[in-house]
Amino acid sequence: MTFIFLVVTAIKEGTEQGYLHRILQSLALVWVAVAVLLIVSIGLYAALAAVGVEAKQNLLITFLVSPGLLLLALWLLPRSLLTLKEGQKDGKS
């Protein structure tokens, strides 16, 4: 809790504002991706259980689909948010 207070204080004071802001933003996006993955996995498990799939097969299917969804979410997020680097502003390679 103290770390969060220090980070927020540092952001308000302006020290390392860009870097800390990007860290918090990327952390929030990764947590949102994990939360969506969890909700989709629970929904998939419940749907397979409602259809009548055995518990072992249901768990296996959910376990195999979850990493694929996580990789898809990470692929869809902008790379600059995950690597904490600024995007190119002038358009040069």
Mean pLDDT of 12-25: 68
Q: Is residue 56, in this structure, part of any structural domain at all?
A: yes
Which residues form the domain of 19?
A: 2-82
Q: Which of 10-19, 23-32, 39-48 has the lowest mean pLDDT?
A: 10-19
Q: Is residue 91, in this structure, part of any structural domain at all?
A: no
> Alpha-carbon distance 4 to 7, whole Å?
5
> Alpha-carbon distance 22 to 12, whole Å?
14
Q: Is residue 59, in this structure, part of any structural domain at all?
A: yes
Q: At 85, list the tokens.
A: 């680097």
Number of domains in the chain: 1
Q: Is residue 43, in this structure, part of any structural domain at all?
A: yes
Is pLDDT at 85 greater than 80 in this prediction?
Answer: no
Percent over 70 (pLDDT), the chain: 65
Contact by Cβ (8 Å): 36, 77? no
Confidence of residue 10 (pLDDT cuts 50, 70, 90): low
Q: Is residue 47, in this structure, part of any structural domain at all?
A: yes
Which of 9, 37, 11 has its CA nearest to residue 22?
Answer: 11
Report which residue type is found at 92: K
Q: Is residue 32, in this structure, part of any structural domain at all?
A: yes
Q: Is residue 89, in this structure, part of any structural domain at all?
A: no
Q: Is residue 18, in this structure, part of any structural domain at all?
A: yes
pLDDT at 18: 72
